[in-house]
Structure 1
Amino acid sequence: MDAAGARSPSSSSTTQQQQKGPRACATCARAKSRCIPGPVGGGKCERCHRLDKTCSSQTPAPPRKRKEPKPTRVAELEKRLEDLSARIESVQRPPLPPQQNGQVQAQAPTPPEYAELHHDYSPVQSTASPEDSRPTTNADIDDDDLSLWPEEPEASHLLAEYKAHLGHLFPFAAVPPHMSSAQLRRQKPLFWKAVMMEACHLDGPRQIALGNELLRDIADATITKPDKSLDLLQGLQILISWFHYNLNSFQMTNLLFLARSICSCLGFTESQSATKQKEHSSACLEEMRAFAGTYYLVTVTFTTNKKPDALMNTSYLEACCFVLESKMEYPTDEILVWLVRAQQLTQQISWTLALRSYSLQPATSHGNPPLMIVVSKFREQLKTFRQTLPPHLRDNRTCSSLSPSDLAIQTNINKASLVGHLHVAEILLYEIGLSPHQRQEHEGRSSANNNNTLSHTDQLECLWACMHATKAFFTNRFTHDVRGYPRFICMSSFDFIYAFLIALRLVTFRCDGWDLGLVRKELAFEQYVDRQVSDLKYLAKRRSRRTRRRRRRGRRESTGEGGTVSASEGRKGVIMVMRGERKRRR
């Protein structure tokens, strides 16, 4: 059969094959000419018929070999996790000796020493049961019972460490001294999870995993599975105060207003009549602490951000402070009251100066007193506040009257936050000197608008006072070595960043009579920057040290070297990695 006949549609299968292959004949293809069908029945194309040449079909080219799809990073990770789970299962399945009644007795885990909790988790020597030796599945990852939360006796040691070294830094959510970890977990599961999350502050990856898990639980308790309880508010407060470094500004603002809404839903502001009672139960005092804690977190965040419209009303707060100070159920209630009062004064300064700004309230000769009178008034209030402080809270030095007990150490550490808040209040007050529009001779305004301006002498006075307040803040911040226990909650970084930015403005601000060389020498800003950098490097290394040790131990155990670890512990590591990968993909 000739070429034209071969190309004619003899059957449906032949037509499909010709459509897939080359349509031009071999002669036209070599000449790179267009191949047009010739006369019907001629068996040749038009060109081959005209030139009297042989018309034959082309040999189809062999099909191209398709490239195999490259495995994705997620697929590789899943394969590695499956291999790791299989290794753990094979290592943790020793030959079972004959037992009576077919039961397998598991060796009790060795409880870790308390000192090791602050440095590294001790290896758990246990033999896995057949139930713990099954491979990890997706159901395990989503199961709350097989989550990352610590079990006994580790949970009890973590709670003891929180009570001894961390709880006093945020006294608004106190754990009763007599309450055990099991009791706290049963009565207040979200609060217990928040405490466990913070107690793992030296294990960075684990704390991040626990914090993300707690954030998801709080979201469920507020939206999908609503649970209006004090436990929800306390867990949220601990999450905000200690985990804010892993939250963006949008999440932080939403969580703060969520805490305010929970206070409203719990009826705290409507229970002002309870403050007039002579007897107050422990539950009532706990609610007052929670409301004061919400106010504290909101003011720490929004005062230095110059957002007075986001601040809370303090009418009910005054009654709470009075009752807590009079009852003094816990020793930390004293510092709680003074922390709230310091934030009230800071809020008043921020609110007053914001109202005097041009965007909120125009200055008139009759509406506002001169600005320096306002500054002098708040200066006297700060002085009076310091004088009314108890002797052991007036500065950041240990009072000689205190005994060297844990409570004295906690009070000394805790008052560093109080002293820092007072320095921030001073910086907020004297920051008005940094405005280049304060000098009257540069404003060109009428005398009716001079109440919101400073003279050149007053501006230099405010600048110098602001510089001293900023230096005092950094001195208080870096008094003790970072190698000890934390001295501030993570939320204090708002005050630190604010003071840091003010220091940058002070060493770069240009004004007649403002000697930048003298200011930089007096402030020594570069030394504080170097200290902060070294502290951050040390903390990053310290928080990852425990993880590296656990990874090395896990590799030895997965290859059959060293001791054994339970399959539940192995699944925890697998769950952490897979959840981290899921978060990265999102």
Structure 2
Amino acid sequence: MERRGPSHSGPYGLACTSCFKSKSKCVARPDGDGCQRCHRLHKQCGPSDALRRRTLDKKQSSAARIAELESKLGALISQLQSRNVISGDATQRQSPVLPEASSQPAGANSAQPLSAAEGEAQDGDHTEDDDVNFGSGHWSASPQAVPTSARPEPQLEVSEAEGETLLGTFRSCMLPHFAFVYLPAHLSAHQLRRDRPFLFRAIVCTVSPSAWEKLARGRALKMAIAEGMLGRESQTSTGRMDLLLALLTYISWSWDHVLNHGSLSRLTLQAISLASEMRLEPPAPPDARMMALFTPGFDPQSETTGAGTRHDFLERQRAVLGCFVLSSAVSAYYGQVDALRWTQQMEDGLAAISSNHDCPTDAVLTMQVRLQLLAQKSVQVHQQQQLEQGQVVASEMPTLPALMALTTQQGQLQDIQMALAPALRQQALIRVHIHATELCVSEATHAVNSMVPLMVSQFARMTGGSGPMNAGGGAASSTSSRQERLQCLWQCVRAIQACTSALLALPPSEFRGISFLQWAQLARCAVALNRLTTTVVIPTWDHAAVRAIIDVPELLDRVAGKLELVAQQAGEQGCDGVFTRLARTMREFCADASGRAAEDPRLAEHSEARISRR
């Protein structure tokens, strides 16, 4: 027992066990050997239980407290997982994995042990080991904290067998939709990992079955690509090709815009910068020597002469042309970045790809590039016309070149369709792309027609079409202009119906592998259809007649049904899968649209008319 001064009673709470039980005064002996009462009664004098308990608590090691907290956290996580409370990606704040307390009382109650654990962690002195294990933040039941322990980071490296499976899935399911790279059947995952490490990581990321694996591997891949592009002083043509192929693969099939709720524009800009370096035309030798004085170490000729073999040349052309197609789709989808500029060098590369018969997918890629180039040109014509409209007085003449260019593009589209090989005509993706291009050209033609309506009659006279031949036919010109615009709008309706029907006719196993190119085409059809059925206001334009052919809620319902089938085929579990999320969004929009239709008498009459026609 603690030594105390003579004839002084022990402090409150330090009485021995015997004096504590008898509620007697405990006075220590002068020699410090127990207390006077125990010595007088010949009893054993020992400290009280409270003192012994506090002493043991103070001596309790931090390792034991940490083990106890880990045990409680493990039990809590197991309980949450058994109730399916933890779902979704562990790191996304936009998709919280824990429900609100008001909607899930069980989840709120199950968070109480975690609060108790937090209280124990804050009790007493913190040691250095405590900071290492728990960090400086506080544990809570918030959606941002629990998933970190609930779902550990996946293994970024995959085994040889798993790599072969993922590569086979990518080659058979995804690559046929947008074949900007040729992966022959004899190419193994081991060889691809060795020769194209970034491309292999991008394939593993895009084919990963779960959304949280896609996110974790995608974050690591984007950091590695940024380090590879900006963190190295020099870069070989082989390394640059690997980075470009990885970026194109990730943009096309990672669904990063769905999982991260962000834009693909920044990633596309990185791909454009790499493609621009690879297609760089070297200046004449005198200019190159002069440029070397201002940029020591820069050799522009190395950018184009690095690929010496025909295989390397074709691989580079596929990548650059694929970057053009994808950047054009991203530009039209977001409106935040310009597409890769088309050059004569790319035209030569397209001719080389179209004449190559060793790669079976080059024919499809060639058609995709030609069709996307037509769509991009129609967009550029419309943009140029918008720019000139603010600089000159509205009249017929400034708009004539634009309409002539669009008419030429319509003829080129028809020529492409007529020149298609029988095998390509059976390709659903080619038909989808043809109708999507037709929609772009028709929209641009209608937009240009809307700028200066009076020029249509003059254009009809120049091209030999029907129109008033006298200069005083103002009313006839207005009627002709309106008819031209109506014709363009109905062409848009037919293109939307054909494009969506061809794309949604794909079986779930094929629809699962669609790239961002096809998804952007489907989205453009939905946006254009919504405009045609709501915002377009032209005399004699009948919104109800358009809805009778194809309507936005009906289209989205079909898309949602296809996405649900794809989610089942892909084995998605829970509500965090890409296709499951998209299908749920479509269903919610359709439900809201049905509610608005019930409130609007005109929409209700339209729905009844459609039901009667069925």
TM-score past 0.5 threshold: yes
Gaps of 5+ in 1: 1-74, 86-135, 398-411, 549-586
Partner of 1:179: 187
- What is the distance in 1 between the residues matched to 2:449 and 2:203? 47
Partner of 2:488: 462
Kept in 2, the 8 Å contact 1:188–1:231? The answer is: yes
Partner of 2:276: 264
The one-letter code of the counterpart of 1:461 is Q
Kept in 1, the 8 Å contact 2:271–2:323? The answer is: yes
- What is the distance in 2 between the residues matched to 1:458 and 1:537? 40
Specify whether residues 516 and 207 from structure 1 end up closer, same or farther in structure 2 by C-alpha distance, changes over 3 A only: same
Partner of 1:109: none
Partner of 1:211: 218
Which one of 340, 355, 377 corresponds to residue 326 of structure 1?
Answer: 355
Which one of 310, 318, 329 corresponds to residue 289 of structure 1?
Answer: 318
Q: How does 1:119-518 map to 2 (within 5 A)?
A: 147-200=155-208, 202-225=209-232, 228=235, 229=239, 230-243=241-254, 244-246=256-258, 251-266=263-278, 268-270=280-282, 280-303=309-332, 309-358=338-387, 362=392, 364-369=395-400, 372-394=403-425, 397=426, 412=427, 416-431=428-443, 432-433=445-446, 437-438=450-451, 440=453, 455-484=481-510, 486-508=512-534, 509-518=536-545
* Structure 2 counterpart SS, 1:459: helix
* Structure 2 counterpart SS, 1:171: coil
Q: CA RMSD in A?
A: 4.3
Kept in 1, the 8 Å contact 2:402–2:448? The answer is: no
Specify whether residues 420 and 79 from structure 1 end up closer, same or farther in structure 2 by C-alpha distance, changes over 3 A only: farther
* Structure 1 counterpart SS, 2:514: coil
Shift of 1:366: 4.2
- What is the distance in 2 between the residues matched to 1:437 and 1:204? 45
- What is the distance in 1 between the residues matched to 2:480 and 2:336? 23
- What is the distance in 1 between the residues matched to 2:223 and 2:162? 23
- What is the distance in 2 between the residues matched to 1:279 and 1:212? 34
Matched, 1:520 2:532: no
TM norm structure 2 = 0.56
- What is the distance in 2 between the residues matched to 1:175 and 1:303? 29
- What is the distance in 2 between the residues matched to 1:452 and 1:426? 25
The one-letter code of the counterpart of 2:179 is P
- What is the distance in 1 between the residues matched to 2:429 and 2:448? 28
C-alpha distance after superposition, 1:334-376 (max 9, x if no partner):
1111111111111111111221125566455544426654443
Kept in 1, the 8 Å contact 2:269–2:337? The answer is: no
Which one of 516, 534, 552 corresponds to residue 561 of structure 2?
Answer: 534
* Structure 2 counterpart SS, 1:357: helix
* Structure 2 counterpart SS, 1:255: helix
Shift of 1:304: 5.5
Specify whether residues 232 and 78 from structure 1 end up closer, same or farther in structure 2 by C-alpha distance, changes over 3 A only: farther
Gaps of 5+ in 2: 1-67, 79-131, 135-148, 283-299, 457-470, 576-614
The one-letter code of the counterpart of 1:314 is T
Kept in 2, the 8 Å contact 1:345–1:425? The answer is: yes
- What is the distance in 2 between the residues matched to 1:153 and 1:296? 33
TM norm structure 1 = 0.59
Specify whether residues 314 and 240 from structure 1 end up closer, same or farther in structure 2 by C-alpha distance, changes over 3 A only: same
Q: How does 1:542-561 map to 2 (within 5 A)?
A: 545=572
Kept in 1, the 8 Å contact 2:211–2:259? The answer is: no
Specify whether residues 208 and 470 from structure 1 end up closer, same or farther in structure 2 by C-alpha distance, changes over 3 A only: same
Kept in 2, the 8 Å contact 1:438–1:459? The answer is: no
Kept in 1, the 8 Å contact 2:170–2:203? The answer is: yes
C-alpha distance after superposition, 1:134-164 (max 9, x if no partner):
xx999xx9xxx98333212111122122222
Specify whether residues 454 and 172 from structure 1 end up closer, same or farther in structure 2 by C-alpha distance, changes over 3 A only: farther
Shift of 1:173: 2.1
- What is the distance in 2 between the residues matched to 1:374 and 1:148? 50
Specify whether residues 246 and 488 from structure 1 end up closer, same or farther in structure 2 by C-alpha distance, changes over 3 A only: same
Shift of 1:170: 2.4
- What is the distance in 2 between the residues matched to 1:214 and 1:310? 24
The one-letter code of the counterpart of 2:276 is S
Specify whether residues 277 and 217 from structure 1 end up closer, same or farther in structure 2 by C-alpha distance, changes over 3 A only: closer
* Structure 2 counterpart SS, 1:153: helix
Shift of 1:434: 6.5
The one-letter code of the counterpart of 1:218 is I
The one-letter code of the counterpart of 1:503 is L
Kept in 2, the 8 Å contact 1:298–1:312? The answer is: no
- What is the distance in 2 between the residues matched to 1:177 and 1:78? 50
Kept in 1, the 8 Å contact 2:325–2:372? The answer is: yes
- What is the distance in 2 between the residues matched to 1:453 and 1:249? 46
- What is the distance in 1 between the residues matched to 2:278 and 2:403? 43
The one-letter code of the counterpart of 2:321 is A
Percent of aligned pairs sharing the same letter: 24
C-alpha distance after superposition, 1:350-406 (max 9, x if no partner):
111221125566455544426654443322121111112222213xx4xxxxxxxxx
- What is the distance in 1 between the residues matched to 2:512 and 2:194? 28
Specify whether residues 251 and 227 from structure 1 end up closer, same or farther in structure 2 by C-alpha distance, changes over 3 A only: farther
- What is the distance in 1 between the residues matched to 2:70 and 2:177? 40
Kept in 2, the 8 Å contact 1:268–1:287? The answer is: no
C-alpha distance after superposition, 1:434-489 (max 9, x if no partner):
7895574899xxx9xx9999711111111111111111111111112325553521
Specify whether residues 417 and 211 from structure 1 end up closer, same or farther in structure 2 by C-alpha distance, changes over 3 A only: farther
Specify whether residues 471 and 544 from structure 1 end up closer, same or farther in structure 2 by C-alpha distance, changes over 3 A only: same
C-alpha distance after superposition, 1:241-278 (max 9, x if no partner):
11243476865211111111112334554499999999
Aligned length: 397
Kept in 1, the 8 Å contact 2:379–2:440? The answer is: yes
The one-letter code of the counterpart of 1:426 is E
- What is the distance in 2 between the residues matched to 1:251 and 1:529? 22
Higher relative contact order structure (alpha carbons within 8 Å, sequence separation ≥ 6) = 1
The one-letter code of the counterpart of 1:378 is Q
- What is the distance in 1 between the residues matched to 2:259 and 2:192? 26
The one-letter code of the counterpart of 1:292 is L
* Structure 2 counterpart SS, 1:507: helix
* Structure 2 counterpart SS, 1:176: coil
C-alpha distance after superposition, 1:511-549 (max 9, x if no partner):
21112222111224433221112233444566564579x
- What is the distance in 2 between the residues matched to 1:221 and 1:546? 34
